[in-house]
Amino acid sequence: MSQKGHKRRLRPTHKALAIVSALVLGGGGVVIVAQGASAGQDSARTAPVTATIDCPDVGDKLRAVPDQAKPEVDAKLAQLDTQIADSYKRLATGKAKGGALLGELKQKRDKTIADMSKAIGQSGGNAGQLQALGGCEMKQAAAADIPDAPGAQVGAQAAAPQNQAAKGANGGGPARSDFVAINTVRPNVANPGAKAGGSRGQLSVQCGRNQEKHFNPDNVIVAPGVSNGAHHMHDYVGNRTTDAFSTNNSLAASGTTCTNGDQSTYYWPVLRLRDGRAEKDANAPGGGQDANIGTILQPKQVTIDFKGSPVAKVTAMPRFMRIITGDAKAFTNGNANANASWSCTGFENRQLKDKYPICPKGSDVVRTFKFQSCWDGKNTDSANHRTHVAFAAANGACPAGMKAIPQLVQRIVYGVAPGAKFAVDSFPEQLHKPVTDHGDFINVMNNNLMNKAVQCINGGRACR
């Protein structure tokens, strides 16, 4: 993925690109043609191309929103996501032509952004140049060239899908090129060495594997008060009641699946086998209605650890701090905020951000989320949910003016048959790309438990 974000475009040959553009902008529907296809060429040997919608991420551009304006701004940001998702569905089902669709979408986005900017301005804030973010483009990508069907394998053609949800979503990825055999990847993990003054301890929290099947397509951090604010299904462990309408008070009053009484909420997009089978949410928001199909996989193992800094002592996180790692829109935004990684047991010195791993027999798929470990010392959240925290540098040091906090590291293991086709849930237009994986955390530890974590980490002890 390019560091330049959503401006990057795949580059098929000029003739193929002309065909793609003509079909996308004039014909509607999800376009699938062969890169490099021209007279005398065998298009079956080239990679098919599809199209999706690429819009500027308005929420990521926010830096300060007055408290009075936050409810309306959150609602408008969720509305922008719904507009994109609905437009992509119309494109994917051939119900709208590309050029006209982009024009209609811009009109809707312009109004929504204007309303958001007005709310910020009337509350004494400065919306900046948000109004310039209304226009969207088409983005080309490798098409999903393998049907979603029982027994579907990466690199092999499979039978026709069993249900309409699977059939309709097949153009939405993943593609064969989204997978790579883990044993072909070179080791790429380097950890900074511990230094004098560092903190080497760890607090481990046991919260189960979502045996209670706590699922919903909400995101209380990004879209509070909005049902289906994520447009994809989330797995939850820890806090038992988290949904779009949770408040700090309701989270603090809730029970937990964690054995040490930690009421924090830990959530991430579900992983599904793209097996053509109808899950319970096949016709529901966040599920089949948002192109998330197939059997939801329950993790074999979930580990939650809070670790120290190699160069500094850690300070306590404030209660109700929110942290997001990774970027649910990284396919169109670019990988500047992409952070979740993929690997296989036995190969975890090889981590992938923009590919799914094909694990050998006897090895399981692993997702790892390493959260930001530096805090501004003031805020429990920020307007774009990122700038109040930061990642440490390669040597482990925090940016100037920030202090080290316990680093949340989540490791989630799945049993997946070698070569089986799977994908993470995503916003529909993000095409289930592995780079869009992400994790969310709200700290609801009481002060005693957080102080225990800090003491264990700074004291070099392993605690539970």
Identify the band that residue 160 occupies on the pLDDT scale cut at 50, 70 and 90: very low
Identify the band that residue 312 occupies on the pLDDT scale cut at 50, 70 and 90: very high
Q: In terms of pLDDT, which residue wins out, 80 or 23? A: 80
Question: Is 147 among the domain residues?
Answer: no
pLDDT given at position 146 = 62
15 pLDDT higher than 90 = no
Q: What's the pLDDT tens digit per position in 355-390?
A: 999 999 999 999 999 999 999 999 999 999 999 999
Say if residue 277 is in the same domain as residue 342.
yes
Identify the band that residue 173 occupies on the pLDDT scale cut at 50, 70 and 90: confident
Per the structure, the count of domains in the chain is 2
Question: Is 284 among the domain residues?
Answer: yes
Say if residue 206 is in the same domain as residue 266.
yes
Q: In terms of pLDDT, which residue wins out, 273 or 43? A: 273
Q: Give the amino acid at 328.
A: A
Say if residue 247 is in the same domain as residue 188.
yes
Question: Is 151 among the domain residues?
Answer: no
Question: Is 155 among the domain residues?
Answer: no
Say if residue 81 is in the same domain as residue 182.
no
Contact predicate 241/251, CB 8 Å = yes
- C-alpha separations of 353 from 179, 341, 387 in Å: 11, 5, 22
Say if residue 236 is in the same domain as residue 368.
yes
How many other C-beta atoms are found inside a 10 Å radius of the C-beta of residue 127?
A: 21
- C-alpha–C-alpha distance, residues 330 and 352, integer Å: 14
- C-alpha–C-alpha distance, residues 366 and 297, integer Å: 13
Say if residue 220 is in the same domain as residue 312.
yes
274 pLDDT higher than 70 = yes
Say if residue 207 is in the same domain as residue 90.
no
Average pLDDT over residues 231-250: 98
Residues sharing a CB contact under 8 Å with residue 118, sequence separation 6 or more, in sequence order: none
Angle of CA points 391, 396, 398, to nearest 5°: 55
- C-alpha–C-alpha distance, residues 435 and 337, integer Å: 10
Say if residue 172 is in the same domain as residue 263.
yes
- C-alpha–C-alpha distance, residues 248 and 255, integer Å: 13
- C-alpha–C-alpha distance, residues 371 and 366, integer Å: 16
Identify the band that residue 85 occupies on the pLDDT scale cut at 50, 70 and 90: very high
Contact predicate 302/209, CB 8 Å = yes
Q: Per mean pLDDT, which range of 8-22, 108-122, 337-351 is the poorest?
A: 8-22
Identify the band that residue 406 occupies on the pLDDT scale cut at 50, 70 and 90: very high
Helix (H, G, I), strand (E, B) or coil at 457: helix
Question: Is 311 among the domain residues?
Answer: yes
Say if residue 333 is in the same domain as residue 236.
yes
6 pLDDT higher than 60 = no
Return the bridge partners of 49, or none: 33, 142
At 367, which helix (H) or strand (E)?
strand 365-370
Say if residue 104 is in the same domain as residue 202.
no
Q: Which single residue is written with the structure tokens 């000029």?
A: 14
Say if residue 185 is in the same domain as residue 127.
no
Domain that holds residue 290: 168-463
* Max CA distance (Å), the chain: 72
Q: What's the pLDDT tens digit per position in 48-62?
A: 678 899 999 999 999
Contact predicate 423/431, CB 8 Å = no
pLDDT given at position 193 = 83
Identify the band that residue 25 occupies on the pLDDT scale cut at 50, 70 and 90: very low
Average pLDDT over residues 312-340: 97
Closest CA to 273 of 440, 62, 434, 421: 421
162 pLDDT higher than 50 = no
Q: Which single residue is written with the structure tokens 């709200």?
A: 442
- C-alpha–C-alpha distance, residues 386 and 216, integer Å: 23
Question: Is 28 among the domain residues?
Answer: yes
At 94, which helix (H) or strand (E)?
none
Q: Residue 188, class by beta-carbon neighbours within 10 Å (0-12 exposed, 13-18 middle, 19+ buried)?
A: exposed
Question: Is 118 among the domain residues?
Answer: yes
295 pLDDT higher than 70 = yes
Question: Is 150 among the domain residues?
Answer: no
Identify the band that residue 452 occupies on the pLDDT scale cut at 50, 70 and 90: very high
Say if residue 324 is in the same domain as residue 429.
yes
pLDDT given at position 147 = 62
Contact predicate 222/59, CB 8 Å = yes
Contact predicate 160/147, CB 8 Å = yes
pLDDT given at position 398 = 98
